[in-house]
Each structure stands twice: as C-alpha cells, then as structure tokens.
Amino acid sequence: MQRLKHSLYLLMLALLLTSVPTIANSTMEEARETAYAIADLFVYEGWNIREDFQRGFLARGASTVVTSTLYQGNSYCFIAGGSNDAYDIDIILYDENGYLIDRDEDADRAAAVTVTPRWTGLFYAKIIMYDSAPDGAHWVLVTGYY
C-alpha cells in the first residue's frame, strides 16, 4: 500500500511538472494566433509580415518596450496579440525623441499600429497589458513592412 501511494505521488508530480510548460506553451500559442490573425488582414492589403516575433508575459497593468530601427520611407506595422487570458492589450509607438507616433488602445486582445518614418532611427513599441486574468497573460508582437 505504501509503495502504491509513493508511485501515485510520483505520477502526480510528473504530470504536474510536465503540464506547466504545456499550459505556458498553449497560452503563448493563443497569443501568437491572435497576432497572426490580425497580420493576415495586413497581408490581404499587401503587407509583408515577418515570420519571427517577440513574446513575453505581462502582469495585469504592466508594460514592456520593444525597440526597433526603422528606415526612412518604408512603412511598418506592429501587431500585438494576447492569449485568451488577455482581455485588453494596447500598443503605443514612440519615436526616438519620445514623441507619440501612433496608438491602438481599443479594448480587445489585439492591437496594431503603423508608421512610415520620415527619418531612419530608433522607434519604441510599448505593449501594455491593460486588462487580463489576475495573474497576467502572454503576448506576442509581430512586425511587418510594406
């Protein structure tokens, strides 16, 4: 009986340890799918979407900044998508001087902004997890050009 309890304990521990990455991977996949669903709309309009993407996890109300060098005369899009636990994700784009370029603060789990810079320089995409499950949610940032 003691051996059976020990075996069950080990089995439960193994299941718990293997399910945590699966849960994280599935919510990251949800965020990726959300971002690329919006990106498909840009593709329909002639945009080229990069295959690589940035990702992370944010607590409710928290934000992160992604820095990109953008080149004069090209058009760029930044698309943020959240997992199912992300109820409202926002994106605000700033230039190298901190001036607001574009923002998407609609109340949904995806956001997109565009820019055609008049100069080559650093630009900052601030991703904000405005509302989510109490413990936060995953996000993915996809970029494209035209």
CATH T-level assignment (fold) for domain 2-145: Jelly Rolls (2.60.120)
Could you tell me the pLDDT band of residue 73, with boundaries at 50, 70 and 90?
very high
Of 8-17, 71-80, 120-129, the poorest mean pLDDT is in: 8-17
Residue 105 pLDDT: 87
User: Residue 84: how many CB atoms within 10 A of its CB?
Assistant: 16
Radius of gyration of the chain (CA): 19
Could you tell me the pLDDT band of residue 13, with boundaries at 50, 70 and 90?
very low
From the list 95, 74, 81, the residue with the least C-alpha distance to 145 is: 74
For 127-142, write each residue's pLDDT tens digit. Answer: 999 999 999 999 999 9
Residues 82, 85, 88, 89: what is their CA dihedral angle, to the nearest 10 degrees?
Answer: -30
CB-side neighbour CA atoms (13 Å) of 38 = 23
Residue 7 pLDDT: 39
Mean pLDDT of all residues in the chain? 86
104 within 8 A of 113, measured Cβ to Cβ: yes
- pLDDT of 113 > 90? The answer is yes
For 35-72, write each residue's pLDDT tens digit. Answer: 999 999 999 999 999 999 999 999 999 999 999 999 99
Which pTM was predicted?
0.82
Residue 27 pLDDT: 85
- pLDDT of 1 > 50? The answer is no
Domain ranges of the chain: 2-145
